[in-house]
Each structure stands twice: as structure tokens, then as C-alpha cells.
Amino acid sequence: MLREKVLAEKVPPVEERRRQIESEPLPENLGALLDEAAAAVPDEPALVFFDSDETIAYAALREKVNRLANGLRSIGVRKGTHLGVMLPNVAAFPITWLAIARIGAVMIPVNARYTGRELHYVLDDGEADFLVIDETFLPAFDEVAARLPRLGAGRVVVRGSPRAGERSWSSLLEGQAAEFSGDAPARDDLLNIQYTSGTTGFPKGCMLTQRYWLTIGKVNARRDGRVYKRILAATPFFYMDPQWLMLMAFYQRATLYVAARQSASRFMDWVRRYRINFTLFPELVYKQPATPHDADNEIIRVNMYGVRKEFHADIERRFDFVAREAFGMTEIGSGLFMPIEATDMVGSGSCGIPAPFRECRIADMHGNTLPPGEVGELLVRGPGILLGYYRKPEATAAAFHGDWFRTGDLFRQDERGYYYIVGRVKDMIRRAGENIAAREVEAVLCQLPEIAEAAAVPVPDDTRGEEVKAYIVLQPGLTPRDVPPERVIAHCSAGLATFKVPRYLEYRASLPKTPSEKIAKHVLKAESSDLRRGSWDRLEGRWITE
């Protein structure tokens, strides 16, 4: 069995691997990492976007990145310039990001499913000076273009067919030199303003440096002491995962295979067809019907996040690969990981030990360290974590105890030093891997004049982990007949990405309150063992009565 063969390979102890990773110097910037890889393996494929049949070798990728960087400079992009990037999973996305990194500019990745309202928020809050956008997403931008004066004529770059006053992405590469003509950025220069949902309701922009990305790529490439030559990215590039997976591939001189869109049913077909060695493994793939070919793969290891511990051993058995838990978040990159050799921890539910470059501890609400066994908030520090939240000094201050970042997640640590996640401090809903801030959903609901009050809570779901349920209180004198579920859902769909729109909707005459008059969500959650009961189910189009 491949899993047994992998585990039998001798590697240095995990602490020795950590010391080696931390002692080796990082490249000066992302451009230097690409240069090193292109010099080492110029003709090896760096990126394969298999759905669009795009394959780019390392030397060709470096040349395209340099040409685009020079093209962007020719229209005014400089070190520190902010560019929104709203592209699907095509080669233009990583090429654009790497060109931005080469210049020392800053990317604001935009979720391709955002409505005009959400798009306006991140481009306005992130102070985007330019926008790189696919032509298919222009309708969302058109809704808000008039309210984004920074993005005037010549400031919108379109992949596809530009309109009057817009520029063509492909034309920016034409006639440009194959060597970059500008100055090189430093490791600690800002590279991404990566938006992530938080307890304040609307997304916050995490300020992530070149060091952040160099660190997370290196940690994932080196921490096992194994070689991964073919890596799969099955999620959109506007998330952090494909970005660091690409850098992991650069460190390994490997190939990143990229899917156009997520698909649990096609996932293992991709793994077999492209002989993948490493990927992130969604629990939803495990829930697909078993086939005789599940173990026919070349995976050395997968990372899992939040998969139920009861499934862990069977996942390894069924697919014949090593599966290990890990914990990370946009703000810190890689935080915890389970060593590949820790076979005794399979099914334990532990996220592992601190990753290289990271220190972790569990603390009370005042930041005081708690002893092993006690539950508290996980705090993390180390080089390359976020600089703070863009233009949100109060949120930044609240997110730290000194130089320790407050994850907002409740953990405990056992006597051997392994960490276990217990719950979440933050008022979040996690649906199919997406973090949804309850306050954002509630804010959109309350924009409907007929709604006086709203509360969004998570509902356990076997397929997606959690679904969104909204409790609403109508204005005095109104009934559900006056404001039917279809109207509420249509309103939410106009202002929220599809994954944020509540699946369940329940009308209430009032909502329980705490002594300080805040909505007591814990009371709502405790009222029933099945929170679906009494709700309108958006997907099934019916009331759930039992």
C-alpha cells in the first residue's frame, strides 16, 4: 500500500525539520522565488489549468510575469499601488498576482461571486487604484462604477473585450521587455489586502506581506521532508489556498494543477488523471459514493481542515493516502500541523503542533496563559503574520494581545503539546468552507424596510457543515403574508453572494435579549434540537413542520 510505503520512509525528526526550515534564508521576494525556480527547471510545467487547456512552463511563466509587470508600470502602477483583481480560475490570475508582486504593488483579490454591493465595499475600503476584471464580471462592476471615482478611464483592465475607456489585459503584455525594469520589493512590503469575514460584520482586509506568502509556501513545501511534484488546487484563486499552493509548488519545482471550479464528484478523477501527490481534501469528497478505484492514486499526503475525527481512519483506509489535520487562517497563514509520522494521532481530532515560524499558546480573555487541559483562546505569533486590518486600527488593536494574534477560536492543549479545537469565539457561520459573518447577513436583512430585527445563526448540515438560518421580526402590523419568504430571499440574493443567503427563515414576534439588550443567540440555538423546525427551507421551497 502506498500509505504504508510513505510512512516507512525515513525523515529527520519534526523538530530537526523545523530548525532547518527556520534557519534557511527566505527568497528576497516572490519574484526571486520564481526566478530561482525558472533557472532550475525552465522547461518544467509550472501551471496547468486543465479545464481551459493552459500549460505554462517555468521560464515562460517568468517571462509573462515580467512582461505584464512592465505593462502595468507603463499605465502607472508603482510600488504600493492597489489593484483589485476579479478573475476566474485562469492563468491570467496568478500571472497578474505575480506581476503585482514583482512591482511591489498590492493585490485586492475579489470573490468572483460578489454582488455589486460587496464588490463596491472591498474596492472602496481597499482603496483600489486599478481593477483587473474578467469581462463576464463587468455587470457587477457596472452597478457600482459611478461610486468608485478612483477607477475612472484607463483604470479598468479587462480580460476579454474591453469597452470604451477600458484597457485590454492581453495588450499590456504586447511589446514589453522579457526582463523587469523596476526595482525589487522587500520581504516586508505589503502584497495582499486579503478580505476575510469577521465578528464586526463586514469583511476586513488582512494586510499580508511578501514574507507572509514566502513563509506559508515554504512551510508547506518543506515540513514533511517529502517531495511533491504534482499539486492540486481545486478552489478559486481569490482564496488564499491556491496562492500558497502555487508558491509551495515553486519551492518544490513542482507543477500546480488548477481546476476551473470546485467539484466533489470530479475531485478523485482529477487526482488520478494528473497523478497528484498533494492536495487539500474536502470532507464532501469522502461523502461521494465509494468506488473500486478510490485507492488508485499517487497521493503522498493530504491536508484536512475540520473533518470529523470519526471519519479520519476510514478516509486513510479508503483512499490509501496519509491524511493529516492542520489549522490556519488568513491572518496567520499556517498555524498548526500534524506531523506526517504521527500515526498514533489519527482520529484524535487534534490539529497538531505549532508550524515552523509560529509560536502558539492558549489564554484566557485577558491574554494570560492557561495550563494544559484548560479551554481558552488560541493565540499565535511569529514572523510573517498579518500587519493588521487595513484602515481598521480599532479592529487591529482588538485582534492582538501584545504581539500575539487572537484567533477567536477556542482550543485546549494536551500534556504532549498537541492542540485541539473546541469551538469559536467569533459569531461566524462556516458553510462548505466559507466563513460567513452573521452580522453581514443581518445587516442586509435589516435593509429591507419591513424587517425590524434579524439574527443569523448556524444550523448543522451533513453536507455543508453548517447552513445559514435567519430569524426575523417584522415591523409592527405586518405578517408573513405581507412579507413572504420569497421576498426576503430575493432581497438577500441581491445583496449577498449565493453562499451567504440564508437557507432557513423563521418569523418571530420578538427575539430573546440579554440584559444589555443584545440578541441572545444562545437562547435561540437552545430552543430546539432541530433548528430547521418551523422554518421556511429556501432550497426545498416549503415549511418544515416536523
Task: Give pLDDT tens digits for 378-432.
Answer: 999 999 999 999 999 999 999 999 999 999 998 999 999 999 998 777 788 989 8
Taking only the tens place, the pLDDT of each residue in 136-163 is 999 999 999 999 999 999 999 999 999 9
Q: What pLDDT sits at residue 199?
A: 41
What's the confidence (pLDDT) of residue 201?
57
Tell me how far apart the alpha carbons of residues 378 and 361 are, in angstroms, rounded to a whole number. 6
Q: What's this model's pTM, rounded to 2 decimal places? A: 0.88
Task: State the pLDDT at residue 449.
Answer: 94
Please check the confidence at residue 516 and state whether its pLDDT lies above 70: no
Average confidence (pLDDT) over 189-194: 98
Could you report the per-residue pLDDT of 83-119, keeping only the tens digit for each?
999 999 999 999 999 999 999 999 999 999 999 999 9
How far is 256 from 177, CA to CA, in rounded Å?
26
Instruction: Give 194's strand partners.
Output: 206
Q: Pairing state of beta strands 82-86 and 54-57? A: unpaired
Residue ranges with strand state E in 170-260: 190-196, 204-209, 230-233, 255-258
User: Integer distance in angstroms from the first to the last C-alpha of the chain?
Assistant: 47
Residues 6+ apart with CB under 8 A from 348: 309, 418, 420
Residue 545: is its pLDDT beyond 60? yes
Q: Is residue 200 over pLDDT 60?
A: no
Boundaries of every domain in the chain: 28-40+55-186, 428-543
User: 28-40+55-186 with 428-543: one CATH topology?
Assistant: no
Output the CATH code of domain 28-40+55-186.
Answer: 3.40.50.980
Q: What is the pLDDT of residue 197?
A: 64
pLDDT in tens, 265-280: 999 999 999 999 999 9
The model's confidence at residue 318, banded by pLDDT at 50, 70 and 90, is: very high
Phi, psi of 161 (to 5 degrees): -105, 105
Looking at domain 428-543, its CATH superfamily turns out to be ANL, C-terminal domain (3.30.300.30)
Residues 226-249 have pLDDT tens digits of 999 999 999 999 999 999 999 999
